C-alpha cells in the first residue's frame, strides 16, 4: 500500500477556517497522515470537531511544548494501526539568541518532535513530525537534527519518514546551502 503524508505549518491556528478547509483537502486527496506544526491549544477544539465530522476513522495526537512547537499527527485508523507514539524534546539554547534579543523576544523556545509508529501489512512505519528551531541559527538546527536522528535511531522500524518545519529561512544567497545541509 502507498502511504501519503502531508505536512503543514498552520501558523498557530490563525485563519482557522482556511486551515480546516486545507486539512479536508488533504483527506480528499488521499492523505493517510497529516502532520501539523504550531497547532496551539486554541486550535485543538476546531480540529477535533472537524475530525468528528469527517468520520470515525481519523485519529489525532498532540504534543504541546508552549509557544514554539505544538505538534499534531492525524492519521486514518482504517489503514494505519497505531503501535506507539512518543514526544521527543529537542535541545534548547542556554540563553536567547542574538536575533531573539534584537527582536526583544527573550524566551527560550522548547522545540520537539512527535514520533508515531504505525503497523501496516506487518511492517512498522515511523512517521516523525518535527519543529526545528530558527533561533540559534544553522548550528543550533544541526544540533537539534543530530539529536533527533540519534533518538530515532534507538527505535526499530522497517521504514521511517521525517516531516515538519525545519526553519531553513535565510537570505537568498544562503538559503540553498542551508536547505541542502539540513
| pLDDT tens digit sequence for 126-175 | 999 999 988 888 889 999 999 999 999 998 999 999 999 998 766 666 66
Question: Which run of H or E residues covers position 36?
Answer: strand 33-37
| d(C-alpha 115, C-alpha 89), whole Å | 11
Q: How far is CA 142 from the centre of its chain?
A: 17
Task: Name the pTM for this structure.
Answer: 0.90
Question: Which run of H or E residues covers position 137?
Answer: helix 137-153
| d(C-alpha 143, C-alpha 52), whole Å | 39
Q: Is the dihedral of CA 58, 75, 46, 30 positive or negative?
A: negative
Contacts of 100 (CB under 8 A, 6+ apart): 106, 107, 135
pLDDT mean over 9-37: 96
What the chain holds in terms of domains, given with CATH numbers, is 5-181 (3.60.10.10)
Query: What CA–CA distances, in Å, run from 17 to 24, 34, 64?
Result: 11, 17, 22
For residues 167 and 181, the answer to whether their CB atoms sit within 8 Å is no
For residue 176, the model assigns a pLDDT of: 65
Amino acid at each position: 500500500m502507498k502511504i501519503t503524508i502531508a505536512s503543514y505549518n498552520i501558523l498557530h491556528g490563525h485563519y482557522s477556517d482556511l486551515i480546516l478547509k486545507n486539512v479536508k483537502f488533504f483527506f480528499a486527496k488521499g492523505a493517510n497522515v497529516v502532520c501539523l506544526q504550531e497547532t496551539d491549544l486554541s486550535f485543538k477544539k476546531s480540529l477535533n470537531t472537524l475530525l468528528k465530522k469527517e468520520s470515525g476513522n481519523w485519529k489525532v495526537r498532540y504534543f504541546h511544548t508552549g509557544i514554539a512547537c505544538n505538534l499534531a499527527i492525524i492519521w486514518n485508523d482504517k489503514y494505519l494501526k497505531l503501535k506507539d507514539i512518543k514526544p521527543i524534546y529537542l535541545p534548547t539554547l542556554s540563553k536567547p539568541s542574538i536575533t531573539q534579543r534584537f527582536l526583544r523576544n527573550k524566551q527560550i523556545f522548547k522545540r520537539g518532535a512527535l514520533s508515531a509508529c504505525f503497523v501496516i501489512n506487518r511492517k512498522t512505519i515511523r512517521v516523525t513530525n518535527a519543529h526545528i528551531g530558527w533561533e540559534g541559527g544553522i548550528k543550533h538546527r544541526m544540533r537539534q537534527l543530530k539529536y533527533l536522528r540519534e533518538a530515532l535511531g534507538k527505535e526499530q522500524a522497517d521504514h521511517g519518514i521525517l516531516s515538519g518545519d525545519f526553519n531553513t529561512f535565510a537570505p537568498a544567497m544562503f538559503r540553498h546551502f542551508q536547505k541542502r545541509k539540513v
